Structure 1
Amino acid sequence: MIKTFTFALVHMTVAFTVVYLMTGNWLAGGAVALVEPACNTIAYAMHEKAWARWGRRAIGRDDDAKPGMAASPLGAHG
């Protein structure tokens, strides 16, 4: 959990710094630092679901995959 929290801080700091350096605007940097990581988190969750579904279909195991377990699209060795 600590690793997740520190990664979120790094992500927000990078987002803020990039936008601030590009615009010189503290408000824009702050807004992006809050909104972009939230949007990215949602996009990542959707990506993981799609990837798991594609992986189960690719190896023909769509019915017997355990809930919450992401199947590797590369099979047992991926």
Structure 2
Amino acid sequence: MTKTLTFAILHFSVAFTVTYLLTGSVIIGGAVALVEPAVNTVVFYFHEKVWSKFEQRSNNAVSA
């Protein structure tokens, strides 16, 4: 859990810093730092589902 927490802090920090440097806005930087990781988490979930199906198909093709 500690590794996950430190990665989340790193992710928020990078998202905030990059957005702040591009826009100069603390508010926009903060908003992106909150929204982007949340959206990325949802996208990652679906990516894993698709990847799992791809792996199953590959395993079935090798077994056949």
- TM-score, length-scaled by structure 1: 0.75
Q: CA deviation at 1:59?
A: 1.5
Matched residues in 2 for 1:56 and 1:44: separation? Answer: 18
Residue in 1 that maps onto 2:39: 39
Matched residues in 2 for 1:3 and 1:36: separation? Answer: 20
Q: CA deviation at 1:55?
A: 0.5
- Cα-to-partner distance string for 1:2-51 (whole Å, 9 max, x where unaligned): 10011000000000000000000000000000000000011111111110
Which ranges in structure 2 are unaligned for 5 or more consecutive residues?
none
Residue in 2 that maps onto 1:29: 29
Q: Which has the higher contact order (CA 8 A, sep 6+)?
A: 2
Matched residues in 1 for 2:43 and 2:34: separation? Answer: 15
**4+ residue segments displaced more than 2 Å:** none
Q: Identity of paired residues, percent?
A: 53
Which ranges in structure 1 are unaligned for 5 or more consecutive residues?
62-74
Matched residues in 2 for 1:59 and 1:19: separation? Answer: 41
Matched residues in 2 for 1:41 and 1:8: separation? Answer: 11
Matched residues in 1 for 2:51 and 2:8: separation? Answer: 23
How many equivalent residue pairs? Answer: 62
- TM-score, length-scaled by structure 2: 0.90
**Pairwise CA RMSD:** 1.4
